[in-house]
Amino acid sequence: MSKTFEAAIDLGAKQVPMIRLVDVEMRKLVDTRAGLWLMILIGSVIVLVESAFVITAIVYGENPPWSYLLTSMATPLGLMLAVLGIMTVTSEWGQRTSLVTFVLEPHRMRVVIAKFLAGTLTAIVLLLFTIVFTASLTWLVGQINGIDPMWDVSRSMMLGFGLTQLTGFLIGFAFGMLIPNTPAAIVVFFLYRYVFPPLLGFAALLWDWFEPIEPWINLSAALAPLSTGTITNEETWHLISSFGFWVCLPLALGSVLLVRREIK
Amino acid sequence: MIEVQNLTKSYGDFTAVDDISFTCRPGAVTGFLGPNGAGKSTAMRMIVGLTPPTSGKATIGGVDFSNIPNPGTQVGVLLDASAQHAGRTGREILKLGAVTMGIPLSRVDELLELVGLSPKEAKRRVRHYSLGMRQRLGIAHALLADPQVLILDEPVNGLDPAGIHWMRGLLRYQAERGGTVLLSSHLLREIEVIADDLIVIGNGRIIAQGSKEELLKGQGTFVQAGDSASLARALTDAQLAFSGTDAFTVDAQPEAVGQVAATAGIALVELRQSDGADLESLFLSITSDSQRGSAFIQGDVA
């Protein structure tokens, strides 16, 4: 009974490698019904919306170019990627799984980085799926209508589309970091997306002093040139500034709060 | 070895954990006993770095929890059996733990068998688990990598008597092979069966700590005389501290008390080592401070 034992903490052990943390976070995105259904929902919306467009086009004897199919996906995909971004972070809080997660990896920012990488990878896969799927539909329409498919998406337009969509995911992730509650974060995202831009425009009309400030924080407006594939120097600065305001700022603030927060 | 030094946690005016210090030695099961809301869980969360302490510190094997590499493989932790995603299956939860820790997935099945969750139960979502099943799953999770140190918050809560017996054997085995075990409970009877050392906490402060034998033995001597006033005078003259009005509990060995009585010529009715009721009455008195606690404990004792 009164034998003495040595303390047995091995400080030479390897810490959990990031790749395993990312692996776990990817699993967590799909191993619950909510997560799985979000993925199924995103996948089916892409397939159904595009198919509806194409069927309508064929019925009316039209020949929709690739750019039309791709940009028609911009809004629904943008919203869904934002929700994915939010849920990547907030799903940790709803059921107190954080009590386990942050005991297995006490360096909380490593968990955040793993979530970020897992979510970004998932968003990129969904994005690639959208691009490949719309391209196949463009080809199919060409075959059915018996004409050459209209490959009118330039490289810069493709890049712009991808970046805009990824920004949607990033905003969701940043909001999720700042507001650790899924419904609340989604509501705030919708306010940001639909209420805030007209409000900004209105404020710019109302107060002269605000008018020059507005483009620097209006991310929706700043993103618009990206999707057309051409962007001026000044617009680039507007984009960087508003991106910093809506993505980097909440992300940094949320990270500081998370590292200091009591997890219970 | 778990060392806690002057650990304090305040929330505004409320002090949840008030300057507690204790050590859990390897090779023993340390029971952390106190009514609900006494600060046990807060203290345990501070030990594993989830709650930042207001002051003081806690170390495991001499280091902060956050400095332990791959901590899941070295310290098994169960803080709240219900803190799991209700939509995951039991098996999936263990799998996530095993992947994080980097241990073979075969351990998942081994542990499921060890804690007595059947393959069929393991495939069900945790939403449909009873509290006892969740406890078993949580214990399996803590034991996944066969760690040397175990920190378990109310692990026996919700287990049936057979489960408690099983848990006792499990923790005994851990201690006998040199492991360090800290487990909390709000039930004296429960922890009495399992623990070697006890730390009793109430309202955030440590009220008693020591080995179980020491604490349960009680201290001092129980003495009663026909003429209690004379006995009280004799004890005061002999400078022995005592308490009680009719019969006394004296802070001295029975022999010394008997000597005092004999010298004073007082006939005793009873003289003996005081019994182990002290811890229980102490525990009841701290629990009756909070109504929540008192209802619980009295219910259990009755």
Chain A contact set for B29 (CB, 8 A): none
Mean pLDDT within B266-271: 90
Interchain pair B73, A27: CB under 8 A:
no
Token pair recorded at residue A146: 């018996």
- The 3-state secondary structure of B117-158, one letter per residue: CCHHHHCCEHHHCCHHHHHHHHHHHHHCCCCCEEEECCCCCC
Mind telling me how many Å the CA of B47 is from chain A's nearest CA?
A: 10
Interchain pair B99, A20: CB under 8 A:
yes
Q: What angle do CA B174, B179, B185 make, to 5 degrees?
A: 70
Closest residue in A to B85 (Cα–Cα): A95
| Confidence grade of residue B151 (pLDDT, cut at 50, 70, 90) | very high
Distance CA A37, CA A32 (A): 8
Chain A contact set for B87 (CB, 8 A): 32-34, 95
Interfacial B residues in 109-148 facing A (CB < 8 Å): 141, 148
Distance CA A122, CA A157 (A): 22
Average confidence score pLDDT of chain B: 88
Token pair recorded at residue A119: 């979510």
| Confidence grade of residue B218 (pLDDT, cut at 50, 70, 90) | low
Mind telling me how many Å the CA of A9 is from chain B's nearest CA?
A: 6
Token pair recorded at residue B57: 């510190």
Nearest to B50 among A13, A21, A99 (CB): A99
Mind telling me how many Å the CA of B100 is from chain A's nearest CA?
A: 6
Distance CA A246, CA A189 (A): 11
| Confidence grade of residue B296 (pLDDT, cut at 50, 70, 90) | very low
- pLDDT, position A87: 93
What strands, in cross-sheet order, belong to the sheet with B55-60?
B14-24, B2-11, B55-60
| Confidence grade of residue B300 (pLDDT, cut at 50, 70, 90) | very low
Instruction: Inform me whether the C-beta atom of residue B65 falls under 8 Å from chain A C-beta atoms.
Output: yes
Instruction: Inform me whether the C-beta atom of residue A155 falls under 8 Å from chain B C-beta atoms.
Output: no
Is pLDDT of B110 > 70?
yes
Please name the helix (run of DSSP H) or strand (run of DSSP E) that holds residue A175, with its range, or none: helix A155-178
pLDDT tens-digit series, residues A60-70: 888 888 999 99
pLDDT tens-digit series, residues B6-53: 999 999 999 999 999 999 999 999 999 998 889 999 999 999 999 999
Q: What angle do CA A32, A33, A34 make, to 5 degrees?
A: 90
CA proximity to A87, closest of A122, A136, A44, A128: A122
Token pair recorded at residue B141: 């999770």
The residues, ordered by sequence, that sit 6+ positions from B136 with a Cβ below 8 Å of its Cβ are: B115, B116, B117, B159, B163
Mean pLDDT within B280-287: 70
Mind telling me how many Å the CA of B211 is from chain A's nearest CA?
A: 12
Q: Provide the pairing of β-strand B221-225 with B268-273.
A: antiparallel
| Confidence grade of residue A182 (pLDDT, cut at 50, 70, 90) | very high
Chain B contact set for A106 (CB, 8 A): 48-49, 65-66, 68, 71
**Amino acid sitting at position B153:** D
Instruction: Inform me whether the C-beta atom of residue B82 falls under 8 Å from chain A C-beta atoms.
Output: yes
Closest residue in B to A16 (Cα–Cα): B70
| Confidence grade of residue B288 (pLDDT, cut at 50, 70, 90) | low
Closest residue in B to A34 (Cα–Cα): B87
Interfacial B residues in 221-260 facing A (CB < 8 Å): none
Chain A contact set for B80 (CB, 8 A): 96, 99
pLDDT tens-digit series, residues A114-166: 999 999 999 999 999 999 999 999 999 888 888 888 898 888 889 889 999 99
